[in-house]
Amino acid sequence: VWCKQQRPDPSRLTVFPLSMNASQLRRVVERSLLAPEYDSISYVNDYLKVHMNRFVETIGLLQPIMEPGMRIVDLGSYGSLLPALREILGATDVTLTEPSQERKPASEDTFLQNARNGVPYPFHVDRFDIEGPFPYENARFDIVIFTEVLEHLSRDPLQTMSEINRITKPAGYLMLSTPNCASAPSVLRILRGGNPNIYPVYQRQPSTDRHNHEYVPWEVRELLKLCGFTLNEFRTIDVYQDQQFG
């Protein structure tokens, strides 16, 4: 978690306490994220469950900095984290962003429409290219969530990171995660003659799924420092222990 400028008074943090151990937290997060009952079995099995450890870590990191009324934006999101943001952290003002789509408005209030129980999860969505200017005024959000998106950027990330800095309130937070190209599994793949990246494959049709650049930890630290953020917490963790990539 990176904070912009000064950190808020610690005495005002932890408004929504989670008095539970790691296994209890996982059960609560998993139950919350699966509650919408998504129409696509593949989305549940191949995405939500595969990334569940990461979602649990994300909620665990966000919990201590949450306060009532905080304004949150989840950039480049499928909306996967929305139920946990609302039910576990108590977030009431959540904006998601996704790429522009020809037959959808640039901005609208909606809910999880790809789920049988999606109505209880309302949110605002803005559709735009996150590698260009953001449609927000300065210092709009208390928390910016930017998880597993950095590696998909096809151009110099300074543009996107500078925009994130601009829309983050002073003393606001950026929650960022991205694959670690210097992880033990990546080094092992090199020693075996493979590619260290998790998802470097090219496809016949243009796709935003491909990882255009996977980072090592010092690159991420330097990038964020250059864009005006101060380190609050930095860690590397294997959230895909049961998964095989590459």
CA dist 195 → 74, 160, 178, 192 (Å): 30, 27, 17, 9
Whole-model pTM: value is 0.89
pLDDT score at 13: 36
* pLDDT tier for residue 244 given thresholds of 50, 70 and 90: low
Average pLDDT over residues 63-75: 95
E-only strand ranges, the chain: 2-4, 71-74, 93-98, 107-111, 122-127, 141-147, 168-177, 229-231
CA dist 223 → 182, 186, 226 (Å): 16, 21, 5
| pLDDT tens digits, one per residue of 94-151 | 999 999 988 999 999 999 999 999 999 999 999 999 999 999 999 999 999 999 999 9
State percent of the chain over pLDDT 90.
Answer: 71
Is the pLDDT confidence value at 6 over 60? no
Alpha helix positions (H), the chain: 22-34, 41-43, 52-62, 82-87, 158-167, 184-191, 217-226
More confident residue, 1 or 136: 136
| pLDDT tens digits, one per residue of 194-219 | 888 888 777 777 777 889 999 999 99
* pLDDT tier for residue 241 given thresholds of 50, 70 and 90: low
Q: What is the rounded distance in angstroms from the CA atom of residue 112 to the CA atom of residue 82?
A: 9
* pLDDT tier for residue 243 given thresholds of 50, 70 and 90: low
Q: Of how many residues is the chain composed? A: 246
Q: Among 108, 119, 50, 107, which residue's Cα sits nearest to residue 83?
A: 119
Sign of torsion over alpha carbons 40, 38, 86, 242: negative
